Amino acid sequence: MGLRDSVAPVPGSHSRLGAPTRIVRVSNMLKKASLIAPGLMAAGIAVFCGFLVSWQWTSVSPLTVSLLIGAVAGNLGLIPSVCETGLKFASRRILRAGIVLLGFQLSFSEVAHLGSRGFLAVIAVVTVTFFGTQYIARLLGVSPGLGLLTATGYSICGVSAISAMTGAIDGDEEDATYAIALVTLFGSISIFVLPALGHLMNMTNVRFGMWAGSSVHDVAQVVATATAYSPHALAPAVIVKLTRVVLLAPLVAIYGYRHSQTQKHEIPHEHPHTGSQRVSLLPMFIVLFLVAVSIRTTGALSSDLLTSLKQIEKTFLALALVGLGAGVNIKKLRLLGSRPIILGVCSWALVLATSVITIRLIPINL
């Protein structure tokens, strides 16, 4: 019997060996928390100011004020660089948490009613914008890659869609950067332009929400646009937008498959799977949103609990909008060339026009 066999394992030795791993994990968590904390504190101060303004003038939404504070502070250079990580965390993760909590304010009858009507608008907007943008790109002499990525971002869900499509087709990083800049710029402009146009057209809250949800690019921008118009426009906007997001998976999967097949034919022995990418069929926050709607539909939640959840939701969304506003950088406009800007303007006009025409044709009594 060898030395290894003669030494009996010490009870609890495996748990002690795992301790350093747990310490590293805790250390990493604390490090991440320290990076996020300054930005969240800054966003919290802005949200507090937003609620103060709303309490003073009840017609003003604290979400809109929070967005404006973030945008003004960001463009005036008042936000320290140490806050950037936390503000990005707010505009992405906390936003999704807020959308999940929004589900507790909706029942499936409302979701089904708006979703069935909004689905027609979503299909029309996605189809016309996706192929129309690529056609405009060809007329302008813009590269096919930039045309495809811009079309994906404008028609589906902004930066997330561009990132997914870039990975699926092994897209050029410069094209992706231009496309992201375009959807960020024109999506941000939508936050301020669409509410003004909606009031000029005397849109109801539901109709405007559906318009915002079917035409504005990123989820965060949709939330900001809808709340800038009316708090009651938020629910239909989110429902229609999430219906639109679901179409990302099949679209990216189709183009990813086409790209992988092209690669196989062109370079049969080199990297046969470069174009493949695992695409999430349904983002987790949408699943949780539907779970929240399911729980709300049962009627098991008390009115007091629903009121508390509503306040938390509003706070989360306000924090997210501070982060979104801080990321709106007007100076980035100068980084884009003339042809990408023209492409962005034309595609933006296309998606807005297609959306408003479609929404006008849908019979809505609200």
Sort 10 into a burial class: Cβ within 10 Å, 0-12 / 13-18 / 19+. Answer: exposed
- Return the pLDDT at 308: 92
Predicted confidence (pLDDT) per residue in 298-352, tens digit: 888 898 999 999 899 889 988 988 887 887 766 765 666 788 889 999 999 999 9
**Averaged pLDDT, 245-267:** 75
Q: Assess whether pLDDT exceeds 50 at residue 273.
A: no
pLDDT band of residue 249 (cuts 50, 70, 90) is confident
- Return the pLDDT at 2: 47
**Averaged pLDDT, 225-229:** 90
Residue 240 and residue 235: Cα distance in Å, rounded?
9
**Averaged pLDDT, 99-127:** 79
- Return the pLDDT at 154: 93
Least confident window among 5-9, 124-128, 148-152, 287-291: 5-9
**Averaged pLDDT, 141-158:** 89
One-letter amino acid of 21? T
**pTM for the whole structure:** 0.71
More confident residue, 361 or 132: 132
- Return the pLDDT at 65: 85
8-state DSSP, 299:
T
Residue 23 and residue 29: Cα distance in Å, rounded?
10
Q: Helical H runs in the chain?
A: 3-6, 13-56, 62-75, 84-89, 95-102, 108-140, 144-152, 158-169, 173-200, 205-215, 219-229, 234-246, 248-266, 284-298, 303-326, 338-361
Between CA 39 and CA 45, with CA 43 as vertex, the angle to 5 degrees is 120
Predicted confidence (pLDDT) per residue in 186-221, tens digit: 888 898 899 999 999 999 998 999 999 999 988 888
**Averaged pLDDT, 3-26:** 56
Predicted confidence (pLDDT) per residue in 15-51, tens digit: 444 567 777 677 778 788 888 999 999 999 999 999 9
More confident residue, 238 or 248: 238
Tokens of 164: 């997914």
For residue 193, give every residue at least 6 positions away whose Cβ sits within 8 Å of its Cβ, in sequence order, or none.
none
One-letter amino acid of 333? L
Least confident window among 61-70, 251-260, 277-286: 277-286
Contact 230, 208 (CB under 8 A): yes
What proportion of the chain, given as a percentage, has pLDDT over 70?
83
Contact 101, 311 (CB under 8 A): no
Hey, CA dihedral for 353, 355, 358, 362, is it positive or negative?
negative
- Return the pLDDT at 272: 41
**Taking the CA atoms of the chain, what radius of gyration do you get in angstroms?**
23
More confident residue, 259 or 204: 204
- Return the pLDDT at 350: 95
**Averaged pLDDT, 354-358:** 91
Residue 122 and residue 222: Cα distance in Å, rounded?
14
pLDDT band of residue 114 (cuts 50, 70, 90) is low
- Return the pLDDT at 117: 67
Domain definitions of the chain by residue range: 107-314+330-361
More confident residue, 146 or 278: 146
**Averaged pLDDT, 149-168:** 84
